[in-house]
Copies of this chain bind each other. A is one copy, B any other.
Amino acid sequence: MQTDTDTKTDYSTLIADLARKGRAAQRKLARASDEEKAAGLRAAAKAIRADAPAILEANARDMAAGEERGLTGAMLDRLKLDEDRLDAIASAIENVASLPDPVGEIIDESTSPSNFGLVRRRIPIGLIGIIYESRPNVTADAAALCLRSGNAALLRGGSEAIHSNRALHAAFVKGLAEAGLPADAIQLMPTQDREAVGAMLKAAGLVDMIVPRGGKGLVARVQQDARVPVLAHLDGICHTYIHADADPAMARAIAVNAKMRRTGICGAMETLLIDANFPKGAEVLAAIADAGCELRGDERAQKLDPRVKPATAEDWDTEYLDAILSVAVVDDIDAAMEHIAAHSSGHTEAIITDNEEAAQRFLNEVDSAIVMHNASTQFADGGEFGLGAEIGIATGRLHARGPVALEGLTTYKWQVLGSGQARP
Protein backbone atom coordinates (compact mmCIF):
# COMPACT_ATOMS: atom_id res chain seq x y z
CA MET A 1 0.00 0.00 0.00
CA GLN A 2 1.36 3.37 -1.04
CA THR A 3 0.92 6.23 1.37
CA ASP A 4 3.13 9.13 0.34
CA THR A 5 1.36 12.31 -0.65
CA ASP A 6 2.53 12.41 -4.27
CA THR A 7 1.05 9.00 -4.93
CA LYS A 8 -2.26 10.01 -3.36
CA THR A 9 -2.39 13.00 -5.67
CA ASP A 10 -1.84 10.69 -8.60
CA TYR A 11 -4.77 8.54 -7.60
CA SER A 12 -7.17 11.47 -7.45
CA THR A 13 -5.89 12.45 -10.90
CA LEU A 14 -6.45 8.88 -12.06
CA ILE A 15 -10.00 8.87 -10.72
CA ALA A 16 -10.70 12.28 -12.27
CA ASP A 17 -9.47 10.96 -15.60
CA LEU A 18 -11.55 7.77 -15.37
CA ALA A 19 -14.56 9.84 -14.33
CA ARG A 20 -14.11 12.24 -17.23
CA LYS A 21 -14.04 9.34 -19.69
CA GLY A 22 -16.93 7.58 -17.98
CA ARG A 23 -19.09 10.70 -17.87
CA ALA A 24 -18.44 11.48 -21.54
CA ALA A 25 -19.48 7.93 -22.45
CA GLN A 26 -22.52 8.24 -20.19
CA ARG A 27 -23.72 11.34 -22.02
CA LYS A 28 -23.74 9.29 -25.24
CA LEU A 29 -25.45 6.41 -23.44
CA ALA A 30 -28.14 8.74 -22.10
CA ARG A 31 -29.19 9.39 -25.68
CA ALA A 32 -29.15 5.69 -26.68
CA SER A 33 -32.54 4.12 -27.31
CA ASP A 34 -34.02 1.18 -25.43
CA GLU A 35 -33.22 -1.09 -28.38
CA GLU A 36 -29.64 0.19 -28.77
CA LYS A 37 -28.89 -0.55 -25.13
CA ALA A 38 -30.55 -3.98 -25.33
CA ALA A 39 -28.55 -4.77 -28.48
CA GLY A 40 -25.36 -3.67 -26.71
CA LEU A 41 -26.06 -6.08 -23.86
CA ARG A 42 -26.85 -8.95 -26.20
CA ALA A 43 -23.58 -8.25 -28.02
CA ALA A 44 -21.74 -8.23 -24.68
CA ALA A 45 -23.25 -11.61 -23.78
CA LYS A 46 -22.30 -12.98 -27.18
CA ALA A 47 -18.73 -11.71 -26.80
CA ILE A 48 -18.45 -13.39 -23.39
CA ARG A 49 -19.65 -16.69 -24.88
CA ALA A 50 -17.18 -16.31 -27.76
CA ASP A 51 -14.32 -15.48 -25.40
CA ALA A 52 -15.06 -18.39 -23.06
CA PRO A 53 -11.65 -20.08 -23.57
CA ALA A 54 -9.73 -16.90 -22.71
CA ILE A 55 -11.98 -16.12 -19.73
CA LEU A 56 -11.70 -19.65 -18.32
CA GLU A 57 -7.93 -19.57 -18.82
CA ALA A 58 -7.74 -16.26 -16.92
CA ASN A 59 -9.91 -17.76 -14.19
CA ALA A 60 -7.62 -20.77 -13.96
CA ARG A 61 -4.75 -18.38 -13.22
CA ASP A 62 -6.79 -16.75 -10.44
CA MET A 63 -7.71 -20.17 -9.04
CA ALA A 64 -4.09 -21.32 -9.05
CA ALA A 65 -2.98 -18.11 -7.33
CA GLY A 66 -5.83 -18.46 -4.81
CA GLU A 67 -4.88 -22.04 -3.97
CA GLU A 68 -1.28 -20.96 -3.53
CA ARG A 69 -2.39 -18.13 -1.20
CA GLY A 70 -4.43 -20.65 0.78
CA LEU A 71 -7.93 -19.29 0.12
CA THR A 72 -10.64 -21.34 1.83
CA GLY A 73 -12.77 -23.77 -0.15
CA ALA A 74 -15.73 -21.39 0.09
CA MET A 75 -13.67 -18.51 -1.30
CA LEU A 76 -12.32 -20.66 -4.12
CA ASP A 77 -15.86 -21.75 -4.94
CA ARG A 78 -16.99 -18.12 -5.19
CA LEU A 79 -14.04 -17.41 -7.48
CA LYS A 80 -14.40 -20.40 -9.77
CA LEU A 81 -15.81 -20.17 -13.29
CA ASP A 82 -16.63 -23.10 -15.57
CA GLU A 83 -18.59 -23.48 -18.80
CA ASP A 84 -21.91 -23.61 -16.95
CA ARG A 85 -21.23 -20.61 -14.76
CA LEU A 86 -20.00 -18.58 -17.71
CA ASP A 87 -23.14 -19.50 -19.62
CA ALA A 88 -25.20 -18.37 -16.62
CA ILE A 89 -23.32 -15.03 -16.63
CA ALA A 90 -24.07 -14.50 -20.33
CA SER A 91 -27.70 -15.52 -19.82
CA ALA A 92 -28.04 -13.07 -16.92
CA ILE A 93 -26.85 -10.25 -19.21
CA GLU A 94 -29.42 -11.32 -21.82
CA ASN A 95 -32.08 -11.33 -19.11
CA VAL A 96 -31.19 -7.73 -18.17
CA ALA A 97 -31.39 -6.82 -21.89
CA SER A 98 -34.97 -8.10 -21.86
CA LEU A 99 -36.03 -5.95 -18.87
CA PRO A 100 -37.96 -2.76 -19.60
CA ASP A 101 -35.75 0.32 -20.01
CA PRO A 102 -36.55 2.68 -17.12
CA VAL A 103 -35.04 5.74 -18.87
CA GLY A 104 -37.57 8.21 -20.25
CA GLU A 105 -40.42 6.78 -18.19
CA ILE A 106 -42.86 9.46 -17.03
CA ILE A 107 -43.22 9.40 -13.23
CA ASP A 108 -46.06 11.91 -13.21
CA GLU A 109 -47.49 14.79 -15.25
CA SER A 110 -49.55 17.79 -14.27
CA THR A 111 -50.50 21.31 -15.27
CA SER A 112 -49.08 24.09 -13.11
CA PRO A 113 -51.06 26.99 -11.61
CA SER A 114 -49.60 29.17 -14.43
CA ASN A 115 -50.83 26.64 -16.96
CA PHE A 116 -47.55 25.13 -18.14
CA GLY A 117 -47.20 21.39 -18.51
CA LEU A 118 -44.99 19.57 -16.01
CA VAL A 119 -43.48 16.14 -16.66
CA ARG A 120 -41.28 14.29 -14.21
CA ARG A 121 -39.17 11.94 -16.31
CA ARG A 122 -36.71 9.22 -15.32
CA ILE A 123 -33.09 9.71 -16.35
CA PRO A 124 -29.88 7.82 -15.52
CA ILE A 125 -27.98 8.79 -12.37
CA GLY A 126 -24.63 9.15 -14.15
CA LEU A 127 -21.46 7.33 -13.11
CA ILE A 128 -21.85 4.49 -10.61
CA GLY A 129 -18.90 3.01 -8.74
CA ILE A 130 -19.18 -0.69 -7.91
CA ILE A 131 -16.77 -2.12 -5.33
CA TYR A 132 -16.95 -5.88 -4.89
CA GLU A 133 -15.10 -8.93 -3.70
CA SER A 134 -14.21 -12.27 -5.19
CA ARG A 135 -17.23 -13.22 -7.36
CA PRO A 136 -16.29 -12.46 -10.97
CA ASN A 137 -19.96 -12.61 -12.07
CA VAL A 138 -20.49 -9.21 -10.40
CA THR A 139 -18.33 -7.69 -13.15
CA ALA A 140 -20.93 -8.66 -15.74
CA ASP A 141 -24.07 -8.33 -13.56
CA ALA A 142 -23.31 -4.82 -12.35
CA ALA A 143 -22.12 -3.68 -15.78
CA ALA A 144 -25.33 -4.96 -17.37
CA LEU A 145 -27.64 -3.26 -14.84
CA CYS A 146 -25.77 0.05 -15.09
CA LEU A 147 -25.79 -0.04 -18.88
CA ARG A 148 -29.47 -1.01 -19.12
CA SER A 149 -30.36 2.07 -17.05
CA GLY A 150 -28.11 4.38 -19.09
CA ASN A 151 -25.40 4.72 -16.45
CA ALA A 152 -21.65 4.45 -16.81
CA ALA A 153 -19.88 2.19 -14.32
CA LEU A 154 -16.47 2.18 -12.72
CA LEU A 155 -15.84 -1.37 -11.47
CA ARG A 156 -13.34 -2.35 -8.82
CA GLY A 157 -13.32 -6.07 -8.06
CA GLY A 158 -11.29 -8.13 -5.65
CA SER A 159 -7.61 -8.73 -6.31
CA GLU A 160 -8.07 -12.51 -6.14
CA ALA A 161 -10.31 -12.32 -9.26
CA ILE A 162 -8.24 -9.80 -11.19
CA HIS A 163 -7.52 -11.92 -14.28
CA SER A 164 -11.09 -13.21 -14.49
CA ASN A 165 -12.48 -9.68 -14.12
CA ARG A 166 -10.17 -8.29 -16.77
CA ALA A 167 -11.09 -11.01 -19.24
CA LEU A 168 -14.83 -10.63 -18.57
CA HIS A 169 -14.58 -6.85 -18.82
CA ALA A 170 -12.61 -7.01 -22.07
CA ALA A 171 -15.23 -9.25 -23.67
CA PHE A 172 -18.12 -7.13 -22.34
CA VAL A 173 -16.82 -3.83 -23.75
CA LYS A 174 -15.80 -5.49 -27.01
CA GLY A 175 -19.46 -6.43 -27.38
CA LEU A 176 -20.57 -2.89 -26.53
CA ALA A 177 -18.22 -1.39 -29.10
CA GLU A 178 -19.41 -3.84 -31.76
CA ALA A 179 -22.95 -2.66 -31.06
CA GLY A 180 -21.88 0.98 -31.46
CA LEU A 181 -21.96 1.89 -27.76
CA PRO A 182 -19.02 3.63 -26.05
CA ALA A 183 -16.62 1.12 -24.44
CA ASP A 184 -15.73 3.69 -21.77
CA ALA A 185 -19.26 3.33 -20.39
CA ILE A 186 -17.97 0.33 -18.43
CA GLN A 187 -14.47 0.84 -17.03
CA LEU A 188 -12.48 -1.50 -14.82
CA MET A 189 -10.18 0.18 -12.31
CA PRO A 190 -6.69 -0.20 -13.83
CA THR A 191 -4.97 -0.68 -10.47
CA GLN A 192 -5.69 -2.85 -7.43
CA ASP A 193 -4.03 -0.39 -5.04
CA ARG A 194 -6.38 0.35 -2.16
CA GLU A 195 -5.44 4.02 -2.27
CA ALA A 196 -7.21 4.22 -5.64
CA VAL A 197 -10.39 2.93 -3.95
CA GLY A 198 -9.96 5.61 -1.32
CA ALA A 199 -9.73 8.28 -4.02
CA MET A 200 -12.85 6.84 -5.69
CA LEU A 201 -14.80 6.99 -2.43
CA LYS A 202 -13.84 10.64 -2.01
CA ALA A 203 -14.70 11.67 -5.59
CA ALA A 204 -17.96 13.52 -4.84
CA GLY A 205 -19.19 15.27 -7.95
CA LEU A 206 -17.24 12.90 -10.22
CA VAL A 207 -18.73 9.59 -9.13
CA ASP A 208 -22.47 9.90 -8.43
CA MET A 209 -23.08 6.80 -6.31
CA ILE A 210 -21.14 3.85 -4.89
CA VAL A 211 -22.57 0.36 -4.49
CA PRO A 212 -20.39 -1.94 -2.38
CA ARG A 213 -21.10 -5.64 -2.86
CA GLY A 214 -19.50 -8.01 -0.46
CA GLY A 215 -19.02 -8.81 3.20
CA LYS A 216 -19.63 -6.60 6.18
CA GLY A 217 -15.97 -5.54 6.37
CA LEU A 218 -16.05 -4.14 2.85
CA VAL A 219 -19.39 -2.38 3.31
CA ALA A 220 -18.39 -0.85 6.65
CA ARG A 221 -15.14 0.48 5.18
CA VAL A 222 -16.94 2.00 2.20
CA GLN A 223 -19.63 3.60 4.37
CA GLN A 224 -17.00 4.97 6.72
CA ASP A 225 -14.76 6.53 4.10
CA ALA A 226 -17.13 7.57 1.31
CA ARG A 227 -18.00 11.18 0.52
CA VAL A 228 -19.96 9.88 -2.47
CA PRO A 229 -23.49 8.62 -1.60
CA VAL A 230 -23.49 4.86 -0.85
CA LEU A 231 -26.33 2.44 -1.51
CA ALA A 232 -25.89 -0.66 0.64
CA HIS A 233 -26.86 -2.68 3.65
CA LEU A 234 -24.44 -3.42 6.43
CA ASP A 235 -26.28 -6.16 8.31
CA GLY A 236 -29.27 -8.35 7.71
CA ILE A 237 -30.45 -9.10 11.24
CA CYS A 238 -33.86 -10.35 10.10
CA HIS A 239 -36.61 -11.22 12.58
CA THR A 240 -39.61 -13.51 12.32
CA TYR A 241 -42.39 -13.00 14.88
CA ILE A 242 -44.81 -15.85 15.43
CA HIS A 243 -47.99 -14.23 16.68
CA ALA A 244 -50.42 -15.92 19.06
CA ASP A 245 -52.87 -16.50 16.19
CA ALA A 246 -50.34 -18.04 13.78
CA ASP A 247 -51.22 -21.27 12.01
CA PRO A 248 -48.82 -23.76 13.66
CA ALA A 249 -47.96 -25.70 10.49
CA MET A 250 -47.33 -22.49 8.54
CA ALA A 251 -45.25 -21.05 11.40
CA ARG A 252 -43.09 -24.18 11.51
CA ALA A 253 -42.59 -24.35 7.75
CA ILE A 254 -41.77 -20.67 7.35
CA ALA A 255 -39.46 -20.56 10.37
CA VAL A 256 -37.44 -23.57 9.20
CA ASN A 257 -37.22 -22.12 5.68
CA ALA A 258 -36.35 -18.59 6.84
CA LYS A 259 -33.43 -19.91 8.90
CA MET A 260 -32.20 -23.03 7.12
CA ARG A 261 -32.84 -22.74 3.36
CA ARG A 262 -29.58 -20.85 2.95
CA THR A 263 -28.01 -19.59 6.16
CA GLY A 264 -25.43 -17.34 4.49
CA ILE A 265 -27.67 -14.84 2.71
CA CYS A 266 -28.64 -11.44 4.10
CA GLY A 267 -32.35 -12.33 4.12
CA ALA A 268 -31.85 -15.36 6.41
CA MET A 269 -33.71 -15.11 9.72
CA GLU A 270 -31.32 -14.48 12.63
CA THR A 271 -33.81 -14.02 15.48
CA LEU A 272 -37.13 -15.76 16.12
CA LEU A 273 -39.66 -14.06 18.39
CA ILE A 274 -42.36 -16.39 19.72
CA ASP A 275 -45.51 -14.96 21.26
CA ALA A 276 -46.06 -16.32 24.79
CA ASN A 277 -49.64 -17.10 23.75
CA PHE A 278 -48.66 -19.14 20.69
CA PRO A 279 -49.35 -22.71 21.80
CA LYS A 280 -46.91 -24.57 19.54
CA GLY A 281 -43.58 -22.80 20.18
CA ALA A 282 -41.96 -26.04 21.33
CA GLU A 283 -42.85 -27.77 18.08
CA VAL A 284 -41.43 -24.94 15.98
CA LEU A 285 -38.16 -24.92 17.93
CA ALA A 286 -37.92 -28.71 17.72
CA ALA A 287 -38.29 -28.55 13.93
CA ILE A 288 -35.56 -25.93 13.63
CA ALA A 289 -33.21 -27.81 15.94
CA ASP A 290 -33.97 -31.08 14.11
CA ALA A 291 -32.93 -29.33 10.86
CA GLY A 292 -29.46 -28.92 12.39
CA CYS A 293 -29.64 -25.42 13.84
CA GLU A 294 -28.06 -24.30 17.10
CA LEU A 295 -30.55 -22.38 19.27
CA ARG A 296 -29.68 -19.63 21.76
CA GLY A 297 -32.57 -18.22 23.76
CA ASP A 298 -33.87 -16.28 26.70
CA GLU A 299 -35.18 -18.10 29.79
CA ARG A 300 -38.65 -18.72 28.44
CA ALA A 301 -37.26 -20.02 25.14
CA GLN A 302 -35.00 -22.38 27.04
CA LYS A 303 -38.07 -23.92 28.67
CA LEU A 304 -39.55 -24.77 25.26
CA ASP A 305 -36.73 -27.10 24.18
CA PRO A 306 -33.80 -28.59 26.10
CA ARG A 307 -31.49 -27.85 23.15
CA VAL A 308 -31.86 -24.07 23.56
CA LYS A 309 -28.66 -22.66 25.11
CA PRO A 310 -28.66 -19.39 27.05
CA ALA A 311 -28.33 -16.34 24.81
CA THR A 312 -26.02 -13.46 25.76
CA ALA A 313 -26.89 -9.81 25.19
CA GLU A 314 -24.69 -9.89 22.10
CA ASP A 315 -26.78 -12.58 20.45
CA TRP A 316 -29.68 -10.19 19.83
CA ASP A 317 -27.44 -7.97 17.69
CA THR A 318 -25.61 -10.69 15.79
CA GLU A 319 -25.97 -11.63 12.12
CA TYR A 320 -24.80 -15.25 12.32
CA LEU A 321 -24.99 -16.09 8.59
CA ASP A 322 -24.78 -19.65 9.89
CA ALA A 323 -26.97 -22.42 11.35
CA ILE A 324 -27.44 -20.53 14.61
CA LEU A 325 -30.64 -18.79 15.73
CA SER A 326 -31.44 -16.53 18.67
CA VAL A 327 -34.92 -17.08 20.14
CA ALA A 328 -36.93 -14.89 22.51
CA VAL A 329 -40.43 -15.39 23.90
CA VAL A 330 -42.34 -12.09 23.92
CA ASP A 331 -45.55 -11.13 25.70
CA ASP A 332 -47.40 -9.66 22.74
CA ILE A 333 -47.06 -7.83 19.42
CA ASP A 334 -45.96 -4.63 21.16
CA ALA A 335 -43.09 -6.45 22.87
CA ALA A 336 -42.17 -8.05 19.54
CA MET A 337 -42.08 -4.69 17.77
CA GLU A 338 -40.08 -3.17 20.62
CA HIS A 339 -37.51 -5.94 20.35
CA ILE A 340 -37.33 -5.39 16.58
CA ALA A 341 -36.99 -1.59 16.95
CA ALA A 342 -34.11 -2.14 19.37
CA HIS A 343 -32.22 -4.83 17.45
CA SER A 344 -33.20 -4.84 13.78
CA SER A 345 -30.80 -3.69 11.09
CA GLY A 346 -33.76 -2.41 9.05
CA HIS A 347 -33.48 -5.14 6.40
CA THR A 348 -36.42 -7.59 6.57
CA GLU A 349 -38.87 -8.61 9.30
CA ALA A 350 -41.85 -10.97 9.11
CA ILE A 351 -44.97 -11.71 11.13
CA ILE A 352 -46.72 -15.06 10.98
CA THR A 353 -50.38 -14.74 11.95
CA ASP A 354 -53.93 -15.40 10.81
CA ASN A 355 -55.00 -12.23 12.61
CA GLU A 356 -55.40 -9.53 9.95
CA GLU A 357 -55.38 -6.67 12.44
CA ALA A 358 -52.08 -7.80 13.96
CA ALA A 359 -50.63 -8.22 10.48
CA GLN A 360 -51.63 -4.69 9.50
CA ARG A 361 -50.10 -3.23 12.64
CA PHE A 362 -46.85 -5.07 12.03
CA LEU A 363 -46.71 -4.12 8.33
CA ASN A 364 -47.37 -0.47 9.09
CA GLU A 365 -45.40 0.05 12.28
CA VAL A 366 -42.21 -1.98 11.78
CA ASP A 367 -39.80 0.43 10.16
CA SER A 368 -37.67 -1.87 7.98
CA ALA A 369 -37.02 -1.76 4.23
CA ILE A 370 -39.05 -4.97 3.83
CA VAL A 371 -41.89 -6.12 6.09
CA MET A 372 -43.64 -9.43 5.47
CA HIS A 373 -46.83 -11.20 6.45
CA ASN A 374 -46.90 -15.02 6.31
CA ALA A 375 -43.79 -15.39 4.15
CA SER A 376 -40.17 -16.42 4.62
CA THR A 377 -37.59 -13.65 5.02
CA GLN A 378 -35.48 -15.60 2.47
CA PHE A 379 -37.68 -13.97 -0.22
CA ALA A 380 -35.89 -10.63 0.35
CA ASP A 381 -34.39 -10.53 -3.14
CA GLY A 382 -34.92 -8.49 -6.30
CA GLY A 383 -35.50 -11.56 -8.45
CA GLU A 384 -38.10 -12.95 -6.03
CA PHE A 385 -39.79 -9.52 -6.04
CA GLY A 386 -40.12 -9.73 -9.81
CA LEU A 387 -37.59 -6.97 -10.48
CA GLY A 388 -35.66 -9.21 -12.84
CA ALA A 389 -32.31 -8.64 -11.15
CA GLU A 390 -30.82 -6.58 -8.35
CA ILE A 391 -27.73 -4.47 -7.87
CA GLY A 392 -28.08 -5.02 -4.11
CA ILE A 393 -30.30 -4.47 -1.09
CA ALA A 394 -30.27 -1.09 0.63
CA THR A 395 -31.20 -0.32 4.22
CA GLY A 396 -30.58 3.43 4.11
CA ARG A 397 -33.59 5.72 4.19
CA LEU A 398 -32.96 7.90 1.12
CA HIS A 399 -33.29 7.28 -2.63
CA ALA A 400 -33.96 3.51 -2.79
CA ARG A 401 -34.68 0.86 -0.13
CA GLY A 402 -34.89 -2.90 -0.11
CA PRO A 403 -33.99 -4.69 -3.35
CA VAL A 404 -32.52 -2.13 -5.77
CA ALA A 405 -32.83 -2.87 -9.47
CA LEU A 406 -33.05 -0.67 -12.57
CA GLU A 407 -35.38 1.96 -11.10
CA GLY A 408 -32.97 2.51 -8.19
CA LEU A 409 -30.25 3.30 -10.73
CA THR A 410 -32.26 6.22 -12.11
CA THR A 411 -33.11 9.71 -10.95
CA TYR A 412 -35.47 12.19 -12.61
CA LYS A 413 -35.70 15.66 -14.05
CA TRP A 414 -38.61 18.09 -14.27
CA GLN A 415 -39.59 19.12 -17.80
CA VAL A 416 -41.55 22.37 -18.03
CA LEU A 417 -43.63 22.74 -21.21
CA GLY A 418 -44.50 26.40 -21.51
CA SER A 419 -46.19 28.62 -24.05
CA GLY A 420 -44.39 31.86 -23.26
CA GLN A 421 -45.06 32.16 -19.53
CA ALA A 422 -43.28 34.90 -17.59
CA ARG A 423 -43.66 34.71 -13.80
CA PRO A 424 -45.97 37.41 -12.44
- Partner-B contacts on A (CB < 8 A): 27, 30-31, 104, 110-114, 116, 118, 123, 125-126, 208-209, 229, 247, 250, 253-254, 256-258, 261, 341, 350, 363-365, 367-376, 378-379, 383-386, 396-399, 401-403, 411-423
How far does the alpha carbon of A368 sit from the alpha carbon of B370 in the complex, in Å?
A: 32
Nearest CB in chain B: distance from A345 CB, A: 11
30 A–B contacts from the bound complex (CB under 8 Å) = A27-B367, A30-B365, A30-B367, A31-B364, A112-B379, A112-B386, A118-B385, A123-B367, A209-B398, A257-B422, A257-B423, A261-B422, A363-B415, A370-B413, A370-B416, A371-B414, A372-B418, A373-B415, A374-B419, A375-B420, A375-B421, A376-B422, A378-B423, A379-B418, A397-B411, A398-B398, A398-B399, A398-B411, A399-B399, A401-B414
- Among A104, A371, A398, the one with the most B-chain Cβ atoms within 10 Å of its Cβ is A398
**Shortest Cβ distance from A116 into chain B, in angstroms?**
5
Q: In the complex, what distance in Å separates the CA atom of A253 from the CA atom of B369?
A: 49
Bound form: Cα–Cα A341–B116 in Å: 25
- Assess the B253–A375 pair: CB atoms within 8 A: no
Instruction: Evaluate contact between A373 and B418: CB separation under 8 angstroms.
Output: yes
A-B contacts besides A112-B385, A253-B422, A398-B411, 9 pairs, CB < 8 Å: A104-B364, A111-B386, A116-B379, A208-B398, A256-B422, A257-B422, A258-B422, A378-B423, A379-B418
Choose one: B208, B209, B363, B421; the contact of A374 (CB below 8 Å).
B421
Q: Are B372 and A229 in contact (CB under 8 A)?
A: no
Please give, as numbers and ranges, the residues of chain B lying within 8 Å of A385 by CB-CB distance.
112, 118, 414
- What's the least CB distance linking A395 to chain B, in Å? 11
A381–B209 alpha-carbon span in the complex (Å): 27
**Contact status B375-A116, CB under 8 Å:** yes
